[in-house]
Structure 1
Amino acid sequence: MHEGSPSPNEKPPSTRWAPGAGAARGRVRRVTAVVAVLVPASFAAWLMWQSVGGSAEAGKPAPTLMPLPTSSEQDSQSAGGRPSGHGDGEATPQPSGPERKPLAGRTVVIDPGHNPRNREHAAEINRTVDIGTSRKACDTTGTATESGYAEAEFTLDLARRVRTGLEKLGATVKLTHDGDREWGPCVDARAEAGNKAGADAAVSLHADGAPAGERGFHVILPESVDEGAADTRAIVGPSRALGRELVSAFQEFTGERPARYISGGKGVDTRGDLGGLNLSRVPKVFLECGNMRNARDADGFTDSKWRDRAARGVTEGVAEFLEGKR
């Protein structure tokens, strides 16, 4: 549940070497060299045989001469029968490089919505903060499944999985909190975390608390606002691109569909009343991963394997966005 609510593959380019005209010329040179060596040798053997009176016509067996290699055999020798780099102009193959890190040098901030301990700190989270367009509560407790699995527990677990995935791709990942706070942080501080990090992308993870009959996920995009401390005009476009990639990847890896109760099932909603978006100066979206009050969605939230798939969806969506910005 988002803030303020009452108590949800282009593969890397191939590095295979494809032989071209230079390789063809190399093969011609190899055939010429072999002929130049073998013909004189064969002729010398024939002279030696003649000198001892040998002749096929005389009823004696003729010497067996080594046949010249065919062009296909030349290619086979070059490819696997002997090392290259043997004086014919070809370079010696080098060992493959280190694992590809497409997000090296990129910074991502992941914001696990709410905090499992917020319920113990009502006074602190109920104080209001300025979000530019209005004032709102510092934070809320979030929602939970019917079985009592808290949204804050889910978002923290998912954030850690996403961090692992993005770090494997080379990104620097920062969480707004990592289970190490008594409460919060407040929504304005969550936005500031992305700004201070100079993040290339920021994603706030949530789960909705809609009526039990509704299910599905959606992404919330920042509305264009310019009021008080809020100015999202520069990030509306890139945030929309980030949201689009997240919708596509999250659907692909989880098999879930966008919520029909939001924006007609398009998977996106645009809002100007969320401090986490209003105060951001970097591309940022909220991802509502589903509806915690819906039994089928709740089955996913409480399944570790589903959370792995959800984390993969978030990771891939962020990666597609960042690689597209290069």
Structure 2
Amino acid sequence: MKKLDLTKQERDVVENALDHWQTSGLLETSKIEELKQTIDERAFEWKHLARYAFWIALVSLIFAVFSLFADDALIRFVERFYETPNIVFCLFFAGLAVLFYFLGFRNKKRYPEKTFSNETLMLAGSFATAACIGFLGQVLDRTTSHYTLFFLLSIIIYGVLSVKLNSKLIWVFTLVALGIWFGTETAHHSNWGFKFWGMNYPLRFTLFGLLLTTFALWGQEKIKPLKPFQSTSYVVGLLYTMIALWCLSIFGNYSDFDAWTQVRQYHILYWGILAILLSLGLALYGMKTKDHASRDIGFVFFILNLYTRFVEYLWDNINRTIFFLLLAGSFWFVGRWAERIWRKGK
């Protein structure tokens, strides 16, 4: 009989459940022992190693590109290409993107179990696509700073590719490109100022995140090609909303740094209260509905907003020793609270 391959934590959970059923008299001891014999503990988390290895590979690739500009010999080599027309770079990255997408799609069909290597190829193709569109902007729009049409083009490209290749990773790029397009489009219509219709960037992106989350919950499931990416859109929408709202709670709806420095934080306390209430509501909603994404995002930003307010109102007003003692005590309280919930669940 083929054994069930579980991690140590998963095996402990299953064995605790079997022991509970044995104590409750739901299963006989002989049956419990028979079931335990079908469990095999996984020796090493190769899946996690693969994920982290691919992530490190991508980060190393990015650092390699930045290191290029720190090496004198490489700089002299690159300087030879300064006079190369932008159209050449555009075509080069376009070809590179097609190559990565082709390899990723082919490997996905041949080796669907190789999730991380396939997604890495898709990610490389997405970076190449972004570079291609950037150089295309240099080719077609040299005299103005209105690049929003090219970001709109990247949204279309990423959207089509994510549907055709069924890639959630590329769909994330689609939503990131959508956010960049939204920011540049509103900036263009405000003459590249910080305010659009009286809203600075944090307030704009708070509303943008809410609209994206609303679309993910009630609109995306009605569009058949986009339905598989509904959960991804939901998480990205929540992150847009909570990150922007956290920034709004710090800077308020100010677009001038000097004006913001003259304002006491309690004048924009209502944004902080809104951020705390929304994150707490999100965490409670996630706990009630077993929605782990809402629960985790809500809990993280609830703690983040609480400690942001803690630093804002106490850092300059109390002794540093007392400040850190209060900080340590609050973290101890959070740890005890989390431990109580964990033990209750166990």
TM-score after normalising by structure 1: 0.23
**Structure whose residues are more often strand by fraction:** 1
> Larger Cα Rg: Structure 1 or Structure 2?
1
Higher relative contact order (CA 8 A, sep 6+): 1
**Structure whose residues are more often helix by fraction:** 2
TM-score after normalising by structure 2: 0.22
